[in-house]
Structure 1
């Protein structure tokens, strides 16, 4: 049954969400993680590669008439603008057309734009396809987070989300190492190596696209949009695969876990806005605080980290990439090791503590830096400690906004807060922190650290008060679908 053929306006009762949430972890779930979660690696690869190849692109013989400032300035800004626009544009369509259709389309947009970036011969061409690359990536965040949360069982949702969002930093490490090889003129010509880095991103996207063909549409989305028979077939197929993997029958879902909904095809923008900013305004405040806090903390450190190492500690420009790789590893290990605690200890404790700890550690780093007590190695160690907690906290921001709003608004909510955080990081951040960390004055760099730390601590305090206890709870229990019949499913809007 297609979307056009779907019957809406009916009231149906189903236990599909409960059946998905009661599934034990299986090889099928790993297929979902690999097929959907690898987009963050591509994003990390893109961002890091462009920063590392800026110098090469500006050299004579690169095949592109562009300056280093245009690469790190205009091209980076256009990538950010594309990501923000793409998140909002595709986010709306993800809620309307479905998760699978959009996570295939947005990845195809990324693939094509990255491939066309690789054959750039003029500045305007490079700028255009950097924007379109971001446009595809921005849409990926909304479509992928929605699909993952709706397919992964409730008891694993927190750790899986954190691990996937943290994998951005695996891409960052890969981008750093790839750039070293691609920019080696003894291996590749000046006008070839940088093109191969973008071409590799397109090849990886093609592989992921092939894997995604086997990822089903979200049964939760199908159920709400009048395609309950298709949802039933998908869930039954998943259950059969999991039972075959485990060699034993699955336990029955709870008999009182049925959900009654009045099916409909779409929700208006007015209803989305009223739901997010009126009915769930405390949760919206939480989302604002988490995204702004993590965006400014990361900018306080990452904007000018190379300049800090070079200016204050005499680290050669060509060696700063090694320090960045160490920081990136610390960023990935945080969500990997702490993720399970978000499902066991709980969201409120872990979100607030990771934000507060990272903020306090950055305050401590600023104090030590101001006293001249650090060298390049110990400063990097301090940054790793800060980002170990900050990365888990930042990943939990994406987890939070993807699970605390109703099903019908999920992708648009993710898109809105992602665009907010990306804009703060890509627009406000450079304006503020690039100037502070680039002056060469200790006091200015200390101030940059303190601003990022303060906003992170404020966000942690907001989370301590407003964070939702969503651990091991079904999405429908955390936020009742707008289409749900009130007497059947109850969830307090806080």
Structure 2
């Protein structure tokens, strides 16, 4: 990997890391702030719902804007929105304040993820494209580990407000790094060919014929793959956010105290990075579809094992496996999806897929409010099995597809 690619990965990845920290810190905030804000279980669910609706709308809005205005302006704007929202969250004085601020923050979070993945895919040579996007997604695990670390080390000493304010300030650093990121040459090709060729040559990307497409073609010429991806993103997010936003509560339900709950969550989250690295290796070795099937099957088996865990050792082992396989699946689907759309529909396709994930993100966390944790985990496992089987049986392999 050359230095330009490393810089691109770092500038996009650091923002991605802060996104993950913010999303996953919400589950710890709901535990830590429950007493101070008087949050009931229903109000906690409302806060999660507001966050997820914001992410849904942000993915739809900014995904389309990235195809109209360009990747880089949206890339910068969404991070600024997220940073401001995170800082304001530290001022929340009630459940309704928290819900409103999480909706605003969610707009930036939902908009950034599909745009960043599209830009990384378009600035990567075909040979390393899948690997690079999975490595970008691996920064999510760093954010997850940092979120668990902040909850474990900082929340008991500083409370939850000060760490959020500091997180908002540090996230702004990613804006400085991103100022050096170029625009996508594939987006520029129809607008400024000379500049597009210069950027493409610098990053080793080949430019070929680029055609214009309307957003309607997502459900016309690309209907089968679009619907398949929408379903896969929805099912993956349905299980992921349902399981992981409630994971600290699931551990606490076993009778563990606040410190032990955060400690176990931190230990489990450490398996996410090896999961991403394994996915990054396999995606270029065995292809997209087989890799996705493997990681979806592993996620389902881990969820069932976690639900049935009879002791602490079993609980930790199954939780570690769940983090390994499910986060690896996320890296794979982020790499697979942008390869399925043409250049001027790529961010729209990613954004619409991301919006389907937000539908799953809204529905999934609601299950434990009505069902037992074990029953909810079984439902999440079934969703992952369906997603993996559907992609393997009906999806197209894009390993050697030239998106240029």
Q: Give me the TM-score of the superposition, normalised by structure 2.
A: 0.91
Q: CA deviation at 1:128?
A: 2.9
User: Is this contact kept in 1: 2:235–2:387, CA < 8 A?
Assistant: yes
Q: Deviations over 1:334-367 (max 9, x none)?
A: 111231210121112211222223324444555x
Q: Secondary structure at the match of 2:209?
A: strand
Map of 1:20 onto structure 2: none
Q: 2:228 aligns with which of 259, 280, 286?
A: 286
**Pairwise mapping of residues 136-175 of structure 1 onto structure 2 (< 5 A)?**
136-175=108-147
Q: 1:345 aligns with which of 275, 279, 286?
A: 286
Q: Secondary structure at the match of 1:374?
A: coil
Q: Deviations over 1:408-448 (max 9, x none)?
A: 111111111111112212x211222333235xxxxxx1x32
Q: Deviations over 1:101-147 (max 9, x none)?
A: 11111111112222233344566544332211111111101221111
User: Is this contact kept in 2: 1:334–1:387, CA < 8 A?
Assistant: yes
Map of 1:72 onto structure 2: 44
Cα distance in 2 for partners of 1:207, 1:393 equals 29
Cα distance in 1 for partners of 2:401, 2:210 equals 19
Would the alpha carbon gap of residues 364 and 318 (structure 1) be closer, same or farther in structure 2, given more than 3 Å must change? Answer: closer
Q: 2:394 aligns with which of 443, 452, 466?
A: 466
Map of 2:171 onto structure 1: 205
Cα distance in 2 for partners of 1:52, 1:405 equals 37
**Pairwise mapping of residues 56-455 of structure 1 onto structure 2 (< 5 A)?**
56-59=32-35, 67=39, 69=41, 72-121=44-93, 124-185=96-157, 188=158, 193-224=159-190, 226-238=191-203, 259-261=208-210, 271-273=214-216, 275-299=217-241, 301-302=243-244, 304-312=246-254, 314-363=255-304, 369=308, 374-425=310-361, 427-437=362-372, 445=374, 447-455=375-383
Cα distance in 1 for partners of 2:322, 2:86 equals 33
Aligned length: 404
Which structure: greater helix fraction? Answer: 2
Map of 1:441 onto structure 2: none
Cα distance in 1 for partners of 2:193, 2:401 equals 22
Q: Secondary structure at the match of 2:372?
A: helix
Q: Secondary structure at the match of 1:455?
A: helix
Q: CA deviation at 1:26?
A: 0.4
When the two chains are superposed, the root-mean-square deviation of aligned CA atoms in Å is 2.5
Cα distance in 1 for partners of 2:242, 2:99 equals 26
Cα distance in 2 for partners of 1:157, 1:449 equals 33
**Structure 1: any 5+ residue segments left out of the alignment?**
1-24, 240-252, 439-444, 477-494
Q: Secondary structure at the match of 1:289?
A: helix
User: Is this contact kept in 2: 1:88–1:419, CA < 8 A?
Assistant: yes
Would the alpha carbon gap of residues 120 and 348 (structure 1) be closer, same or farther in structure 2, given more than 3 Å must change? Answer: closer
Q: Secondary structure at the match of 1:167?
A: helix
Greater Rg, structure 1 or structure 2?
A: 1
User: Is this contact kept in 1: 2:123–2:203, CA < 8 A?
Assistant: no
**Structure 2: any 5+ residue segments left out of the alignment?**
none
Q: Secondary structure at the match of 2:396?
A: coil
User: Is this contact kept in 2: 1:287–1:400, CA < 8 A?
Assistant: no
Would the alpha carbon gap of residues 350 and 261 (structure 1) be closer, same or farther in structure 2, given more than 3 Å must change? Answer: closer
Q: Secondary structure at the match of 2:310?
A: coil
